[in-house]
Amino acid sequence: MAEDAGRRSSADRPRGGKPGEKPRRGKPGEKPRGGKPGEKPRGGKPGDRPRGGKPGDKPRGGKPGEKPRGGKPDDRSQAAPAGRTTAGRRPSSARSDRPGADRPRDPHIPDEVTAEQLDPGVSHELRTLPEGLAEIVARHLVAADNALVEGDITTARAHIAAAKRRAGRVAPVREAAGIAAYLDGDYSEAIAELRTVRRMTGSDEYVPMLADCERGLGRPRRALELLKEVDQRNVDPATRVELTLVAAGARADLGQVDAALVLLQMPELTRLPKGTPRARLQYAYADLLLQAGRVDESLDWMRRAAESDVEGATDAAERVEEETGLTFEEEELVESEGSAEPPEG
């Protein structure tokens, strides 16, 4: 997918994870959710001519100026029924009103891509579709997932768009569209899609991503207001970490670096098990320390982030190597859980 958002600081810009990494709950093709934004209304495209003829067509039954029955000269009240012209045929422009006439061409799905490769949870939600249609949508979502793994966001979004045209009311498809837009840096589109997901599911799962999109659009205060809508006591630890990371990033955007540091001084900073959530917290904390001019502390926390990052979600190891000139070796680090508590305040 575009850039490796998982390698960016939460205090910098929105982050979405590495290509193919499941962003907090699912990536396109894994547990996404659905919609048909931009689909042509059944009556034709906006701006299409109505089927009743061209503007200015003369009514049936007489020449210009001839008095129609029951009316005055040029009275239009006796015009031909909709869909007929003076020649008794539809105008050629009506051809564009046929279903699918202006539908974009779908991207090619490789033969090896099958519906069975889709996440079972998503497959279950596609059961509301006719069998053949469900298979096509599933294959597009799997192809989108594969494209994300390969870093081809353009192809991924094309497959998701094809799925949306067929399954706009299935929540995972809309979720896929929102995540892909977010990872592509298309924050306005991501907000539109993820808001729809939130309405469809009633879940606050994607509020951190929504707030991060607000940051990406230069609206950190709006991001903070959105985050206040979530009761952190009712979310899982991973979501709580994401909420805190985005809040700290928004504070840093406003120049409130010290306040951002305080937000990250949460128990999860050291008490979570090794893995991506703890690594991301420690990475963001190290970056904020660097912004505050506390260079030595920043390097210490970046080393801890590298040790925690067993899944390679950040570039902490590379950052340590750049700062010290030494190749990072996990066994050289000293595990210091007991002394790793962040400073007070």
Residue with token string 């893995």: 275
| Per-residue pLDDT at 93 | 41
- Do 260 and 179 share a structural domain? no
Q: What is the pLDDT of residues 236-249, one digit of tens each?
A: 888 899 999 999 99
Q: What is the pLDDT of residues 151-175, one digit of tens each?
A: 999 999 999 999 999 999 999 999 9
| Per-residue pLDDT at 237 | 86
pTM over 0.75: no
b/e map of 96-133 (b: 16 or more CB within 10 Å)?
ebeeeeeeeeebebeeebebebbbeebbebbeebeeee
Q: What is the pLDDT of residues 172-193, one digit of tens each?
A: 999 999 999 999 999 999 999 9
**Stretch 195-224: mean pLDDT:** 95
Residue 85 placed within a domain:
no
| Per-residue pLDDT at 234 | 85
**Stretch 38-49: mean pLDDT:** 39
Q: How far is CA 35 from CA 160, 162, 197, 202, 221, in A?
A: 10, 11, 9, 16, 29
Checking if the pLDDT of 92 tops 60, the result is: no
Q: Give CB contacts under 8 A, 24+ apart, made by 308-312.
A: 308/274, 308/275, 308/278, 308/279, 308/282, 309/276, 309/279, 309/283, 310/274, 310/275, 310/279, 311/275, 311/276, 311/279, 312/18
Number of domains making up the chain: 2
Residue 210 placed within a domain:
yes
Distance CA 230, CA 263 (A): 16
| Cβ contact 183:16 at 8 Å | yes
- Do 286 and 174 share a structural domain? no
Please report, for the domain that includes residue 202, its CATH number.
Answer: 1.25.40
Checking if the pLDDT of 50 tops 60, the result is: no
Would you place residue 325 in the very low, low, confident or very high pLDDT band (cuts 50, 70, 90)? confident
- Do 196 and 274 share a structural domain? no
- Do 219 and 135 share a structural domain? yes
More confident residue, 33 or 69: 69
**What would the 3-class secondary structure string for 226-265 be?**
HHCCCCHHHCCHHHHHHHHHHHHHHHHHCCCHHHHHHHHC
- Do 262 and 228 share a structural domain? no
Domain range holding 171?
1-39+102-233
| Per-residue pLDDT at 329 | 55
More confident residue, 41 or 213: 213
Distance CA 124, CA 92 (A): 44
- Do 24 and 114 share a structural domain? yes
Residue with token string 């701006």: 47
| Cβ contact 213:23 at 8 Å | no
